[in-house]
């Protein structure tokens, strides 16, 4: 459509992962989610246990949603705003609290002001014994949120604290570890010698969790290209001025990006499609965002209904698709 100028695409830097050394867990406990959320809606799994014994990575589904040597499952929330609102971390199974730590700040571990994390990589955390050498551990809880004490009996679903970013963490999440004695156990495939794959895998969960190798965390529309820090902090879905916007920019916040993944951003208005842009990733990125848009024509954007869409594709298949609708007067 004539009259619209394409804005340059914007690429955000890579977020750094924390690498943790944490616990595992005779009869195996049956586990509920370790935080109060709905997977795929307001939380997601950012990393699984790394099952590759060498320098490579492999999650239980034969994917690469792990970090080398990662010994737990990272249940993440999307933004710092979500963390500020407070997301409870809960006991995945009944047991006795074996140990706790609190009082460490919520700060990106790569920040120059971050504290010394020697032997405190877990940050604020709780460890629970479930008997017969089975144990679960919950790391990176929010400062001053831990609400249980050593020796306390807890039931499944009982609040332990809030999701935070303490210790060796660069995004808000709870690193959930299961172990039996000193052995790491993957709750999605407890037999650590088993071949990876999604076919008839016996796991420790009360309810099956759909495997998502990547996807969209948030999308939105602005009248400018946002800073990456704003995206990580948390932006509204639609944040446009009351007066006629000088541009319409759609942005998408993505997790689990892989080489050759496609991120497509598009806009449509009352007259039909305004345009689209497809960006192909050149490297793996645990987090990234993309933004693209159109400058307003001289007469301004016509009033009416608009739609912004973001699609994440891998190998030609859609991993995730989200849409925001809005009106311009």
Q: Which residues pair with 167 in a beta bridge?
A: none
- What integer is the mean pLDDT of 163-181? 97
Please give the full DSSP string across 82-126, using - where no structure is assigned. HHHH--EEE-SS-EEEEEEE----B--TTSTTPPP-TT-TT-EEE
The answer, yes or no, to whether residue 206 has pLDDT greater than 70, is: yes
How far does CA 325 lie from the centroid of its chain?
24
| pTM exceeds cut of 0.95 | no
- Check if the beta carbon of residue 62 is closer than 8 Å to that of residue 196: yes
Each domain of the chain, given as residue ranges in start order, spans 44-185, 214-328
pLDDT of res. 25 = 38
* CATH architecture of the domain with residue range 44-185: Distorted Sandwich (2.70)
* Domain 44-185 and domain 214-328 have a common topology: no
What is the model's pLDDT at position 26? 54
Provide the pLDDT confidence category of residue 20 given band limits of 50, 70 and 90.
Answer: very low
pLDDT digit string, tens, across residues 239-255: 999 889 999 999 999 99
Amino acid 4: pLDDT: 39
C-alpha 310/C-alpha 120 separation (Å) is 39
Written out in words, the top-level CATH class of the domain with range 214-328 is: mainly beta
């Amino acid at each position: 459509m004539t009259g619209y100028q394409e804005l340059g695409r914007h690429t955000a830097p890579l977020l750094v992962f924390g690498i943790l050394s944490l616990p595992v867990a005779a009869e195996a406990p049956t586990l509920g989610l370790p935080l109060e959320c709905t997977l795929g809606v307001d939380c997601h799994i950012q990393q699984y246990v790394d099952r590759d014994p060498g320098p490579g990575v492999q999650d239980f589904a034969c994917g690469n949603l792990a970090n080398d040597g990662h010994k737990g499952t990272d249940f993440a929330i999307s933004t710092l705003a979500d963390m500020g609102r407070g997301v409870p971390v809960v006991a995945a199974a009944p047991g006795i609290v074996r140990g706790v730590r609190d009082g460490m700040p919520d700060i990106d571990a790569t920040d120059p002001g971050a504290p010394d994390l020697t032997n405190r990589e877990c940050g604020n955390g709780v460890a629970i014994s479930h008997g017969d050498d089975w144990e679960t551990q919950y790391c990176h809880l929010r400062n001053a949120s831990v609400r249980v004490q050593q020796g306390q009996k807890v039931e499944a679903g009982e609040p332990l604290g809030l999701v935070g970013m303490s210790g060796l963490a660069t995004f808000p999440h709870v690193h959930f570890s299961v172990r039996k004695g000193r052995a790491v156990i993957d709750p999605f495939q407890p037999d650590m010698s088993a071949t990876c794959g999604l076919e008839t895998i016996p796991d420790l969960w009360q309810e099956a969790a759909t495997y998502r190798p990547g996807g969209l965390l948030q999308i939105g529309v602005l009248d400018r290209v946002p800073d990456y820090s704003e995206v990580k902090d948390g932006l509204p879905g639609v944040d446009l001025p009351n007066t006629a916007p000088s541009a319409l920019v759609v942005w998408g916040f993505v997790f689990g990006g892989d080489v050759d993944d496609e991120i497509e951003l598009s806009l449509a208005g009352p007259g039909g499609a305004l345009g689209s842009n497809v960006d192909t990733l050149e490297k793996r990125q645990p987090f990234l965002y993309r933004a693209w848009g159109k400058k307003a024509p001289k007469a301004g954007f016509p009033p009416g209904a608009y739609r912004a869409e973001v699609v994440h594709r891998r190998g030609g298949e859609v991993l995730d698709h989200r849409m925001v609708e809005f009106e311009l007067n």
